[in-house]
């Protein structure tokens, strides 16, 4: 049995940038899931410019995109679609927000945590060139902020862990 065989209609991906979330979410797309990505939304609107914006502006854009993803998630659940949310979901509160949306519609989402070590993340992110939503450059100083501040899912969150070592 593949992991995707045991997943629900909604899959919430989480992990630090470079951990393999998009790679796995795209695999689920081939199995009939609709992929929702805040990175895609921001990239379509601003392209490479987003990486040159001040950090506060970037955070604001991504927060807006995250809310748009939540709205699209509602729409797809209402239509009976299978959905994968391809986002870092770096905070428990963000995961809980999307879980609540799903549960209000009678859907129990699956959480997939893509675990990766700092050396693995550094290696992957060093290959990025800023050519698209899935290739956005994450500077090492940002990675060193994201990595220790990522809130790893707790045992009460019921999640699948996929180690990317």
Query: How do residues 122-161 score in pLDDT, each as one tens digit?
Result: 878 687 677 776 767 767 787 678 888 999 999 999 999 9
Q: Which domains does the chain have, with CATH numbers?
A: 3-152 (3.40.50.300)
Q: What is the pLDDT of residue 24?
A: 95
Is the pLDDT at 77 greater than 60? The verdict is yes
- Residue 104 CA: distances (Å) to CA of 8, 74, 94, 107: 15, 10, 16, 7
Query: How do residues 37-67 score in pLDDT, each as one tens digit?
Result: 999 999 999 988 888 888 899 889 999 999 9
């Amino acid at each position: 049995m593949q992991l995707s065989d045991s997943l629900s209609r909604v899959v919430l991906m989480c992990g630090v940038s470079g951990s393999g979330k998009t790679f796995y979410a795209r695999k689920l797309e081939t199995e009939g899931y609709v992929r929702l990505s805040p990175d895609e939304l921001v990239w379509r609107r601003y392209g490479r410019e987003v990486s040159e914006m001040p950090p506060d502006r970037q955070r604001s854009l991504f927060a807006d995109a995250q809310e748009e993803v939540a709205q699209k998630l509602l729409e797809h659940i209402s239509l009976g679609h299978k959905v994968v949310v391809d986002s870092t979901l770096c905070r428990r509160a963000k995961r809980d927000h999307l879980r609540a949306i799903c549960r209000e519609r009678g859907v129990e989402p699956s959480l997939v945590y893509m675990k990766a070590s700092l050396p693995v993340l550094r290696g992957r992110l060093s290959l990025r060139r800023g050519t698209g939503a899935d290739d956005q450059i994450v500077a090492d100083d940002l990675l060193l902020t994201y990595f220790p501040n990522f809130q790893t899912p707790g045992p009460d969150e019921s999640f699948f862990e996929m180690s990317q070592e």
